Structure 1
Amino acid sequence: MTQALLDAVARYANAHADPDGVAVTPVPGLTLIRASRPSALQYAISKPLVALVVQGQKRVTAGSDVFDFGAGDSLVITADVPTVSQITEASVGRPYFSLVLDLDQALLTELSVEMKLTRVADAAPVRTEPTDTEVADAAQRLLHLLERPASIPVLHKQLLREMHYWLLAGRHGSAIRRLGWSDSNIQRIAKAVALLRADFDQPLPVEKLAAVAGMSVSSFHQHFRRVTSLSPLQFQKQLRLIEARRRMFAEGASASTAAYDVGYESVPQFTREYRRMFGMPPVRDVSAARMSA
């Protein structure tokens, strides 16, 4: 990992990060992360993405797999899977910095055809590897555009395309490649996941989700669990709980308000499922977070 890339990430993140350390950029899908101390556990159902760590250390858990990685490493997530993450090394003097890019499946499909890539067997949806030199170089030039805003509309697409090319051609290529097949089960399941993300607070019969994916109900259940590690109902439940927790932490919503807002009809049921996922009931969870802050 080059010093120039670290400097570019630090300049933009230091100037634009919000109180949570997130700096959204004008480049679609590109976000920078900054933290000046180790973080609490962060729960998410992550979209396909690549994260380049340029300073500090992080730990990500997916199911029973634990990934510890740091400066010079990249994390790739190739499916909508539940993860628990924590920044483990960061300080005021040496903050944690990373660059996160959403993977563009349409672009991967286009590049896979042009590169004449062959199909590969399913790979683990979460993995870490040292960052390829070409990927880091493309990322640095992409960040260079942020200092010249007028160049972004003209140049960002070709640099995003180049970065996706080097990801396909590099260490993570075998894992990312499966996202590029338009008729793959991953892309079919992705259509149902998009609906679940958009309407997570609404009742969504599995028959409707299967129809969106173009599968029978039994086939849909099987492939949905294989891709996401969850059943459709579990997936929706986790989306609701994660969003409810965000609303309580970030917006100060009460537990009952958050529960009803995300689609629960019973606060006791919400409390039970919240405790099962996060380890303590919602009111105590929020209180503990405030004391820690």
Structure 2
Amino acid sequence: MNELLEAASRYAEANHHAGIAVTPFPGLVILRETTPTALLYAVSKPLVAVVLQGRKRVAMGNRLFEFGAGESLIVTADVPTVSQVITASRNEPYLALVVELDHVLIESLVVEMGTAPFTVGEPVRVDPTEGEVADAALRLLRLLDRPRSVEILKDQLLRELHYWLLSGRHGGAIRALGIASSHAQRISRAIARIREDFAKPLRVEQLADEAGMSLSGFHVHFRTITSLTPLQYQKQLRLIEARRFMLDGLPIAKAAYDVGYESIPQFTREYGRLFGTSPAKDIREVKVRLGTSA
């Protein structure tokens, strides 16, 4: 892990912007923070975050996860999360390698790897980072010192990384993402539709039909995979998107209407329930923090 930490630290220090160092590898970034952060609200895509230094806390629903160096966060569904870096300094920044799980790669590997069980359980997990995963990640980062090799070798190394993830302790949950007939894959298609049309009225019956499920079965599997009902999921997505719009300078009323709200009082109430304060106060405090840290 020390070599992986050194490689990630060197690249992130030279290439990060606003705490994120983008790499030439699709779906792979390095997170770097030199101070503890405020709460970050987001809808996480399926991913693996390999923590190399520092500590972080992530909440999903009523579950709280705290993890640090040598551990990995595995997210196997598009779920709303609240995260916060809690241990970081200039001398020892928080560093994490984040890889978005590639559905196409997973589907291809599942076919090649043959029959094996897949599971659906909690969409967020924390466990020790497995040696094969860390080794594959290190060889990926080493390509950054040899730019000409990146285009030639990146696909096979990303494929190998996904293989080791599928072979590991959470392979069953990740495998479900690559099986078209699995409940995880069907629900992921419904989630993609909700994310695409989040500002439109939610037609749960239509989503259930598209997923090939009964209405009751769709509700059960959606909640099992995301920990939320479809309406709760859409509501959180709308509020998180509205917050992002307002941080980009959009007025409160315009942000509320753009994400599908017709009532500003309703938007304000629901915003307060999720974020713990009013939209105006929240955005003002975040901008003050950003100004202080700039």
Q: Give the TM-score band, short-chain normalised.
A: over 0.9
Residue in 2 aligned with 1:127? Answer: 125
Instruction: Name the CA distance, whole Å, in 2 between partners of 1:253 and 1:26.
Output: 32
**Stretches (4+) displaced over 6 A:** none
Aligned 8 A contact 1:59 1:86 in 2: yes
Structure 2 counterpart of 1:40, from 19, 38, 41: 38
Equivalent residue number for residue 266 of structure 2? 269
What amino acid is the match of 1:187? Q
Residues 6-64 of structure 1: CA deviation (Å, up to 9, x unaligned): 12212222222222x12222211111111010011111221111000111101111222
Measure the CA separation in 1 of the matches of 2:40 and 2:4. Answer: 26
- TM-score normalised according to structure 2 size: 0.93
Structure 1 CA distance for aligned equivalents of residues 272 and 62 of structure 2: 20
Mapped to 2, the partners of 1:258 and 1:148 lie a distance apart of 45
| Paired residue secondary structure (1:39) | coil
Helix, strand or coil for the counterpart of 1:182?
A: coil
Check whether the contact 2:51–2:68 (CA below 8 A) recurs between aligned residues: yes
Q: Which residue does 2:7 correspond to in 1?
A: 8
- Taking the aligned partners of 1:255 and 1:149, their CA distance within structure 2 comes to 45
| 2:153 pairs with 1:155 | yes
Aligned to 1:238: 236
Residue 229 of structure 1 is matched in structure 2 by 227
TM-score (structure 1 length as normaliser): 0.93
Across the aligned residues of Structure 1 and Structure 2, the Cα RMSD in angstroms comes to 1.7
Structure 2 residue 289 is the aligned partner of structure 1 residue 292: yes
- 1:106-125 equivalences under 5 Å are 106-125=104-123
* Counterpart Cα distance in 1 of 2:145 and 2:239: 38
CA distance in 2, matches of 1:120, 1:195: 24
Unaligned runs of 5+ in 2: none
Residue 251 of structure 2 aligns with which residue?
254
State the SS of the aligned residue for 2:32. strand
- Shift, 1:228, TM fit: 1.0
Structure 1 partner of 2:178: 180
Matched to 1:145, the amino acid is L
Aligned residues between the structures: 290
Distance 2:63 2:114 in 1: 32
Residue identity in the other structure for 1:8: A
Distance of 1:144 and 1:256 partners within structure 2: 48
Report the alpha carbon displacement of residue 117 of structure 1 after superposing the two structures with TM: 4.2
State the distance in 2 between where 1:203 and 1:163 align. Answer: 39
Q: What is the CA–CA distance in structure 1 between the aligned matches of 2:119 and 2:9, rounded to whole Å?
A: 38
Q: Would you say the 8 A contact 1:274–1:282 is kept in 2?
A: yes
